[in-house]
Amino acid sequence: MSSGPSNDPIVQQLQLLLTGYGYNFYSSVNQARADDLLVRERASYHLAQAVDMLATLRGEYQRRFIPPLTRANPDPPQEALVQVREIEAAQQALSNVETTIRGTAVPSQDRIWWRFRQEEPLLRQLLQFDLALVRSSEQVYHKQINKIRIRIEK
């Protein structure tokens, strides 16, 4: 039996009976779709961890290099403020990427798309792209953390 819809009413009823009139958990296409969502969640998790770590490091940097304002010294050091702004910009950029990854939809199941694409190979290819995304997000996390720690230690 093909993974696409059929116009034959007997085949349609058989498909409905086998899937329990709902989602077929055992279909390889549905497993690929679920795996892809799990992989994307892992990528967004690493980026969210990097965003949280940047927020923590920004706070540490501010406590260490920006003294409390006094009447004698009402303005904070400009070079320290530039560093804080850079950390905030990196934090916001990573947060935007994480939100985009988390919000991106997996290709839907509909009759129009079944005519023009092979769903399972497409989902497998998407899964490979998303696995590369996870590896890249882990690298971003580790590089950002090391980069900020080096700046703080100077």
For the record, the structure tokens of 42 come out as 């892992």
Total number of domains in the chain: 1
The H or E element containing residue 110 is: none
Range of the domain at 85: 27-153
User: Distance between CA atoms of 83 and 116, rounded to whole angstroms?
Assistant: 50
Average pLDDT estimate for 46-50: 89
Residue 129 vs residue 150, higher pLDDT: 129
40 in any annotated domain: yes
What's the confidence (pLDDT) of residue 3? 56
Contacts of 59 (CB under 8 A, 6+ apart): none
12 located within any domain: no
- Give me the helices (H) in the chain, please: 9-19, 28-65, 78-103, 111-116, 119-153
* CA 9 – CA 61 distance, rounded (Å): 67
Average pLDDT value over all residues in the chain: 81
* Structural domain contains residue 71: yes
53 lies in a domain? yes
> Could you tell me if residue 101 is inside a domain?
yes
pTM value is 0.69
Say if residue 43's pLDDT is above 80: yes
Residues 6+ apart with CB under 8 A from 60: 152
Q: Which residue has the higher pLDDT, 88 or 10?
A: 88
For residue 138, what pLDDT band results from cuts at 50, 70 and 90?
Answer: confident
Across 6-15, 30-39, 48-57, least confident range: 6-15
Rounded distance, CA 46 to CA 44, Å? 5
Looking at per-residue pLDDT, the higher value among 20 and 71 belongs to: 71
Cβ atoms 126, 20 nearer than 8 A: no
